[in-house]
Structure formats: C-alpha cells, structure tokens
Structure 1
Amino acid sequence: GRVKRERLSDYLQTQGSGDIYTITDRAGWHKDTYIMPSGETITATDKNPAIIYNGDTSQAKAYQPNGELTDWQQNIARYAAGNSRLCLALGASFAAPLLSLLNEESGGFHLMGDSSDGKTTAAKVALSVWGKPSGSLLSWSGTKIGFSNTAAARNDGLLVLDEIGQASPHVIGDTVYSVMNGINKVQGAKQGGNRALTRWKVMMFSTGEKTPDSILKHHKGDWNAGQAARLPSIRAAAQYGIYDTLHGFEDGALLSEHIAQSAEKYHGTAGRLFIRQLLDDLEQAKQQATERMAAFMATIPELSGQARRVAKRFAIAAAALELAAPVTGLPIGVGMAGVKQCFDEWLEANGAGKHEDRRIIEQAEDFIAQYALGTRFMEWSDKSTNKDHAGYRKQEGEKLELWVIRRVFADEIAQSFDESKACRVLADNGLLKYNHKNKGYQHQRKGNGWFHVLATSIELDD
C-alpha cells in the first residue's frame, strides 16, 4: 500500500549509518585501498575501506589465492634466478600496481619466439602472482572494445594476452593504443550528454611467435613509433627455450611443465602480500622504487626519445622485482640482473635510435634490394618507359644511383611517413643525395621532372 511504501522510503532515508561509501567500477588504487579484479579490497588495516566495487567480476574465481607463499616461492619464483625471461615476467607483474604510484604510463612487453619454447609458461609465472593462470590468461582473439573493458577491470594490474597470431591484424595496433592510452572512447548517453569516461593503467605482458610489427607489415599495416615504445618485443629464446639455466631439470620442457602445474596449485598469495608491503608505508615504497629505477638507468647508455621510454619500462620492472624480494625470496640483485639482460638484448636488436628512423631506412633498403636491378628502373640513356616505371639507373663512379620519381618515393619508400622527414633521415644516413645547388632533396633530370636520388652500395662491373 501507499502508506507502507512511504514509511519504507522514510526509513531508508533516515535510518542506518551515515557513513559515505564510494561505489566504483574501476579496480586498482583508491587512496590507501587496492581493489583486486575480483572485487576484493586490500587495506593496510582491518578498517572498513568504505568502497563498494561494482565492476566486472567475471573472472573473480581466478583471483582467489591458493597455497602458502612458501609453496609459490619454492615451486615457481625460485626458478627465476638465472632465467632472465622469468625475471622479466615477474618484474612486469609486480610493476603493475606501481604505475599509478610512480606516475608512469601504461606499457608492457611482448615475448616473441618459436612454438613450445616456454613463452606461455613465462606468462603463467606472471599471472601466478595474482591468481590462477588458467582462469586469468587471455588470448589476443578479441576486439578493441572488449580489451578496453578488460583493462578497466585490471586497472593498476597485470593484463596478459597470449598468442598474438590469433588476433586480427587491425585489432593489434588499435588494442595497443586503446589499452595503453588508458581511456575509453567518448560515447553519448541515452539521456543526453556523454557517458562518464573510464580511465586505467595496466602493465601488459604479451606472447606470440611473431612480433606485432611483422604481422602488420605482412598485412600492409603500420606499427609506428608510439606503439613500438609501448610494447617492445624481446626474443624468448635463451639457451634452453626461454631458460638460461634448468635448475636440475633435464630439459626446458620438463621445467615448463613443472612450473605450469605448480602455478595452478599455488597462486595469488604473492600479489596480496606485495600490496600489503606497499601499504605499510606508501611514501617509502615510492621512494625506494624511484631509487631502484634510477640505479637501473645508471647502468645503461644515455638514451633519448622512444628508446628512453622503453628503458624506463624495463627499469620499473627491475625496481619492482627488487622491491618484491621479501615476497619472491630471490636474493637482492638477481631480479635487476635478469631484467637488465633482457634490456641489453632489446637494445642490441633495436639500437638507441628512433624507431621511425629505422623503419624509414629499412623501407629504403628493401626498395633498393627489390627493384634496383629490375625492370622498374630504366637505364640513364633510355627514352622509353613501362607502366611500372619508378625512375632511372645512373652510374656514379663505381656505385649505382637510383633516380626515383617523387610520387614513387612518397608511396613506396616514405610510405606512412612525411616525405620531408624520410628525405632527412635517409640523407643523414648516406642513402639520399642532397642537392646543394638547390638546397633541397630534389634533383632535376632534363625533360623528366624532379627525382629523389638514392645512393646505393651496389657496385657495377665495367
């Protein structure tokens, strides 16, 4: 009846506690409280945090702890000693809740290698810090919106995506940008205006037999400098699959089998203890992490731009693993050395230069190798052309020059990069001739318009 409804309304508005609660659909840090993807709250004390989690709990069961910390240490964590890829996996996992505390951007690592070399085992090691791997491991076969929603539920946490080869090529680049940018797209609300924006920070750990760059190249996509800096690729291969040392096992497969089985039994305790360790003194924890990051950066060459952004991501992984030493049981310095080995290999493979510059140089070198001596280039004295005409060959001393039509240069060498930037990069690296007379990068061939002149290393016989 109406009277009873009115009495119920009065009761709900006037009775009960006057405490104010925060209702959120975002996991992670909320002042001095950390919310797990399951909705579980972790605080420094037993005090009610006055926070209600109303977000995605579809994987809540996977985030239930099982086993004792010593079980996890003896059957999983201890094998990271002397194994750089496992150190990187653990470092990325423990670094996830530090991103917001240190005001660092979202990012991650992509572990690339052949099938059955242990990449997924490394991913399971990372996941075992927070929960059961079989329930929390995700594949790349999803959509950009789906991954963004998942990232919000893993805010200040770890997001592991396995087997990048299962992803649609157009999803890869979009996913890295949307997940790493940490904000969902603007959407209108039914009642007018826009829906509230969701923000997050995550540490991603990805695996696959190929790199994102190689997959997108095959499908004529573009993996640009921003994406490469957010998700740098590291080779999975060490001496025995992903392992540098087998800790008494006969081969890498047996060690992987033991770790994978153990991760299903013992999981979730390490992450919770690490959060409580941070909560004991958040300011001191931030200071210690900052100092350890600085110590890591002091061991590497001076870098700038994208290379430095990547280096800082390795640094926070190394700092987190050192900070988590009381939880992992690993000796001080072991984690730092393992992550440093991975960084050194990344730096050797990618160099300290800009990713964009390397791409431009690679595109020019590929173009030269493919077409320099083929039918697309006519001899200097030829007057006829063909439908695939790209320019002219000219002998300059003992070397071959390629006079490339400007439109061909823009479409096939510069590609997605600005033409003037491509010219500058190639000229700085000795691949493009500068026209000192006209103070530019264009050269004129009488009667045939303007060209860019590539200086090749091809030697012509007399």
Structure 2
Amino acid sequence: MISIKSDGLYTISKDGQEIKISGPITVKAIVSSPDKRDDFGFLIEWKNYFGISMREVLSMGEIDDYSARKFKKKLLSSGFQLSTRRNTWDLLLSYLIESPCAEHAYSARQSGWIGRQFVTPDWSIGKAQTPAVYIGDSAAANLIKSGTLSDWQQHVGRYCRGNPMMILAVCCALAAPLIEWTGIESFGIQIVGDSKSGKSTAMRVAASMYSDQSYWETWSSTANGIESIARARNHMLLCLDEFKQCPAQEMDRLIYHLCNGVSKLRSERDGSLGKRHRWRTIFLSTGELTLEELFLTINQKVSAGQAVRFIEIPTFGAFDVFDNIHEFSSAKEFAEHLGAGTNKYYGTLAKAWVETLARLDCPEDKVITEYRSIRQEWPWSNDIGSQANNVLDKLALLAAAGEIGTNHGLLPWHLGDAKDALKRVATIWLDDRNSNENVESKRIATKLLKLINKWRHCIVPKDQNVDGAIGTFEIDQKLIWCIPQKIFRSAVIESSSREFRQAINYMWKKGWLITNEGDRRTFKIGNERFVKFFPAQICQDCGDSVDLSHFYNQPNHLINNKYPIIPTSQSENQEC
C-alpha cells in the first residue's frame, strides 16, 4: 500500500516499517486525442530535488514498452527522487496507472491551435472546457523568457520603426499563429544580402519574440529532423540559419517538404502504416546566396512552386537591412544595440500576442478582413500573374499581423507602419523579379526573345526559297514571322514535350500568335503547319530592344543572297 506525504510517496515494508520510494508525484489528468479514440495517457506532475514542478505525459502505449523505461529515464534526468530498492519502479508505475482521476485533457502532438487553445511544449494559453497538453517530440529548443514585454518594446521593438526589413521579420513572427485561419499555405521569407549586412540582426529580433537565440535552427540540422522540428513549430515562427551550408539537393526537397506541411508515410514494426502529421508555419531564413545561385551548383533551375513558397527579398535599405539607425552613429552600433537588447529581453511578445488572439471573438474573421483589405489597397490588381498574386497575398498577411499587433498595443509602432513597410517589400520583390508574370511565362518570354535574336537574319521574305532560311516574313500592318512547326517545336523544347504547348498557348493568350486551327494554335498552309507570330510585338511587350529594322527598311535584302553577310557584332547569332 502506498501513502502520500508532502515530500513524496511511501510504502510499508513487511515488518511494518515506512519506506520512502520517491519524491512527490501525482496523476493530474487522463489524456486522449480530441476524438477520444487515440493517444491515451496520463498527465504526470512531479517535483525534483529542488522542488521545481514538472509535467509530462506518460503514454499508455509506452507502459507496455519495457515497463515505461523511457519515462523513467526522463524522471531521473529531471532530478526526480526515486529509490533504488528492488521493484520500486514497478510499484510506482502501478500506483500511477491505478490512481483514480476525473480530469480529462486533450493530447497535442504538435504546437499550435486546438480550438481556442494554443499549445506549445512549454506553455498553453486559452480557455476551453477541456484543456490541451503537448505530447509531441521535444525536438526544438524550449521557449524561455527574460524581462517584460515593456522592456522588449522599449529596447528592441521601437527601433524597428523606419526599417522595413526589420518590420518584415517581426511580422513573420506575428503572422505564424494566424496562418491556420487564412487558407494560405506554409511559406518562407529569405533575406538575401552580403555578409555583415544586418540579416542576422533581423532574425535575432524576430526570434526574441518567442525565446532566446537557442530558438534558431539551422538548415543543416533541419534536413535531419525536419518533421519533428516543424511539428514543434506548428503555428509558430521557424527561424533557419546557415542557408548556404545546406546541400542544394537537400534544399530542393526541404522547401517543398516544409511548405507542403505533411509528414512522410512510414510503416510501423507490424507493417501497418504509421500516422501522418501535419503542420503549418512561416519560416524566416537568411543567406548570402539566392536559391537560384545555390541551384547553379547542381545545374538545376528554381521551380515556380519553390519561387512562391520561398520568397526571397534582397536587402534594400540605406544600410543594407537598416534604413533608419535612430540615434546611433553607425549601422554597426545600431546592430550591436539590438543584439544586446535581444540577449537581455526575449520570450514575452509571442505569448502576449497569443493571449490577445485567444481573447478575441472570431479572430479569424478579423485577420482575413484585415489582410484582404490591405491587399486591395495595394496598387497591384488581382488579375496579375497568379504566382505574383500568391506572394502578394502572403505579404499582405504579414502586414495585417503587424497592424493588428500595433492596434492592440503589443508593438510600439504607429498604425500604418507595417502596411507601408510590407508595401515597400512587395515593390522590391516585384522589381527584383522584373515581372508580374508567372515564372513559367517569364521563361517562355525569355526563350522567345532569344530565338528572335538568333533567327532575325535567317528569315526571308514570303514566297522566297533561300537555302538555310528558318522561315519567312511578311508585313501586314505588323511584322509577321512564319516558322515551320517542326523547327519551332525543336527550338522551344529543352526537357519536356509539353514546353511547346505551353509556349504557343502563352503566345496566343498574349495576342502574339496568328492561328487558323483553333485550339491547335498553329497556322496550316496546305498540308504543313507553321507557327505564325508577331516578333516585333513580342520584343515591345517584353521591353527588349532586338533590332528588327532591316525587315522594314530592306524588305528584299535576302532574296538573291544564299549566304547573307552577318555583322561581326551579331556573330553570336550566326547559327540559325
């Protein structure tokens, strides 16, 4: 029989002597999944040698696994007092299993929202009839705090004003708990700049909203434990450093894996399929290389899907990451101040932010209304390329998070600061991208411009037969080229046959193509098919200055010349 005292648990020996078997420990609740069909366990609370209270869930499934040896090891590692007498652990384990308990709690295998509760490995916030308890992997660092929210606002937060890239980083941290309510997929922001440009300072400020610098992860470590880390940072900011240290092949996989938000299918020991875990997060990364530059090492291009999930923002401030260094004499001094501030004050804002959200009525409606309103205010219409629009929606969400945080007094900024800063970021992103078009469309346009430049001295007048000619031209208000389908198809296909169909469909949508075959998009003359298009219009619409003047000024210059003389300056285009 076990008796409970303030300093621990006791049992009675055969000779009637009272023997202490452990320090204080008790069952606080029965735990299960929200549907009450899985993840059963006991929420155990104990005190260590120094009287510090700790909690952990003892899974019922673990009890049959070598008598919960894993849980026993956790207890001992935490400083829990446990007698070494024979059968003591079995006796304590039986006591915990058989202790009556009327309280119930939901299990959470990842951080984030469960109803109106926000659960992390270290704390939970929100009111609910049934509390939730984190039982997932403790792969990520603990959430710890130092100082007060007011300290952080005074010594760190206020210095973000006037610095769009700092506001960008802070808004990433704020937006992570909101992403679940918007339907927006997980995504990352990569700040790209030279060494010592302030990138790490921006990440340090964002991380300080959740914890100290141990909150950071590295791309290289994430490659090995991506799923556990992502679950521990579900609905929270994930900070990833050392971008260039991750192999390009791994980065190709990691971006999709993180943003798709679902774990791999795995088999259990008995051959059955294991559970799949899901997460949604925003990750902040810094690097001296762009993804395109990293992929050059493996001769690979950045896919359209990666470009909208991994949003790269080049530093653009007067002092790289910084625009306004406030009262400091140099950017270096400013960065050092922020470094000292984040070393001293951290871990308070994220918790206060979640508390604020948990108190709001229908916070998801407020978030969606705010970010859509900001998106509508921005000067870019919704009918721009779908990929550009996707990224602008994400940046608008970040702006909305900043505006809501400011409105509730958590950020020492003025209303409008976040919205204006993210508008500048969006402008820079679009300028750096050099187009509102989708990535695939940009590639097609670039390819067409190269072909026009390459072919411009190999096109002969209509109805002329010249050896070595690629196609013919005519002028009917506009300059028109007519290229045999086989030649055009061969030129535009680099790796996949569908590239031809993508190219002519895009040309048709842009009004660059003449067709007499409907959905085929080709032009049939007799038994042959051609691609008939407006090269000068393509150059004009794409802002390129390919010289096509000879088609207008000397319309017959190739008629009797089998081997046209090509100027030395154009020798790179000689091979038609």
State the TM bucket, normalised to the shorter chain: 0.7 to 0.9
Q: In structure 2, do the counterparts of structure 1 residues 365 and 5 end up closer, same or farther at CA, with 3 Å as the change threshold? A: same
Counterpart pick for 1:382 among 453, 467, 481: 467
Contact 1:170 1:221 survives alignment (8 Å): no
**Helix, strand or coil at the partner of 2:430:** helix
Which residue is equivalent to 2:427? Answer: 344
Matching of residue 292 in structure 1 with residue 370 in structure 2: yes
Q: Distance in 1 between matches of 2:279 and 2:309?
A: 15
Counterpart pick for 2:141 among 56, 59, 84: 59
Q: Distance in 2 between matches of 1:101 and 1:129?
A: 21
Q: Distance in 2 between matches of 1:439 and 1:339?
A: 41
**Helix, strand or coil at the partner of 1:308:** helix
Q: Distance in 2 between matches of 1:219 and 1:112?
A: 20
Runs of 5+ consecutive residues of structure 1 not aligned to the other structure: 384-390
Counterpart pick for 1:324 among 391, 405, 416: 405
Which residue is equivalent to 1:333? Answer: 416
Contact 2:517 2:523 survives alignment (8 Å): no
1:132-170 Cα shifts (integer Å, max 9, x gaps):
13x222333356553333212211111122343333222
Contact 1:129 1:267 survives alignment (8 Å): yes
Higher relative contact order (CA 8 A, sep 6+): 1
Q: How does 1:34-113 map to 2 (within 5 A)?
A: 34-36=118-120, 39-44=121-126, 49-60=131-142, 63-113=143-193
Q: Distance in 1 between matches of 2:442 and 2:516?
A: 25
User: What's the TM-score once normalised by structure 2's chain length?
Assistant: 0.67
| 1:17 shift after superposition | 1.2
Q: In structure 2, do the counterparts of structure 1 residues 446 and 289 end up closer, same or farther at CA, with 3 Å as the change threshold? A: closer
Matching of residue 311 in structure 1 with residue 311 in structure 2: no
Which residue is equivalent to 1:359? Answer: 443
Q: How does 1:2-401 map to 2 (within 5 A)?
A: 11-36=95-120, 39-44=121-126, 49-60=131-142, 63-133=143-213, 135-142=214-221, 144=223, 146-216=225-295, 219-281=298-360, 283-300=361-378, 301-304=380-383, 305-325=386-406, 326-350=409-433, 351-366=435-450, 371-372=454-455, 381-382=466-467, 392=470
Q: In structure 2, do the counterparts of structure 1 residues 306 and 120 end up closer, same or farther at CA, with 3 Å as the change threshold? A: same
**Helix, strand or coil at the partner of 1:108:** strand
Q: Distance in 1 between matches of 2:399 and 2:417?
A: 9
Q: In structure 2, do the counterparts of structure 1 residues 419 and 35 end up closer, same or farther at CA, with 3 Å as the change threshold? A: same
Tell me which amino acid in the other structure corresponds to 1:333: G
Q: Distance in 2 between matches of 1:114 and 1:373?
A: 40
**Helix, strand or coil at the partner of 2:410:** helix
Contact 1:33 1:41 survives alignment (8 Å): no
Moved more, 195-204 or 420-429: 420-429
Q: In structure 2, do the counterparts of structure 1 residues 218 and 434 end up closer, same or farther at CA, with 3 Å as the change threshold? A: farther
Q: Distance in 1 between matches of 2:124 and 2:108?
A: 15
Q: Distance in 1 between matches of 2:326 and 2:246?
A: 35
Tell me which amino acid in the other structure corresponds to 1:59: A
Tell me which amino acid in the other structure corresponds to 1:458: D
User: For the pair shown, which has the larger CA radius of gyration, 1 or 2?
Assistant: 2
| 1:104 shift after superposition | 3.3
Tell me which amino acid in the other structure corresponds to 2:103: D
User: What's the TM-score once normalised by structure 1's chain length?
Assistant: 0.82
Matching of residue 426 in structure 1 with residue 507 in structure 2: yes
Contact 1:21 1:52 survives alignment (8 Å): no
| 1:194 shift after superposition | 0.7
**Helix, strand or coil at the partner of 2:436:** coil
Q: In structure 2, do the counterparts of structure 1 residues 4 and 221 end up closer, same or farther at CA, with 3 Å as the change threshold? A: closer
Which residue is equivalent to 2:49? Answer: none
1:349-387 Cα shifts (integer Å, max 9, x gaps):
444332321232123335555x5589xx7998336xxxx
Tell me which amino acid in the other structure corresponds to 2:227: S
- Matched-pair identity in %: 23
Moved more, 391-400 or 294-303: 391-400
**Helix, strand or coil at the partner of 1:117:** coil
Contact 1:156 1:200 survives alignment (8 Å): yes
Number of residue pairs matched by the alignment: 442
Contact 1:85 1:236 survives alignment (8 Å): yes
Contact 2:216 2:239 survives alignment (8 Å): yes
Q: Distance in 2 between matches of 1:59 and 1:316?
A: 27
Counting helix residues as a fraction of each chain, which structure ranks higher? 1
Q: Distance in 2 between matches of 1:164 and 1:445?
A: 54
| 1:415 shift after superposition | 5.5
Q: In structure 2, do the counterparts of structure 1 residues 6 and 295 end up closer, same or farther at CA, with 3 Å as the change threshold? A: closer
Matching of residue 409 in structure 1 with residue 409 in structure 2: no
| 1:459 shift after superposition | 2.7
- Alpha-carbon RMSD across the aligned residues, in angstroms, is 3.6
**Helix, strand or coil at the partner of 1:425:** helix
| 1:328 shift after superposition | 1.8
1:49-76 Cα shifts (integer Å, max 9, x gaps):
351433124422xx21112222211222
Q: Distance in 2 between matches of 1:347 and 1:78?
A: 28
Tell me which amino acid in the other structure corresponds to 2:493: D
Q: Distance in 1 between matches of 2:411 and 2:518?
A: 64
**Helix, strand or coil at the partner of 2:240:** strand
Which residue is equivalent to 1:388? Answer: none
Q: Distance in 2 between matches of 1:416 and 1:160?
A: 40
Q: Distance in 1 between matches of 2:297 and 2:445?
A: 18
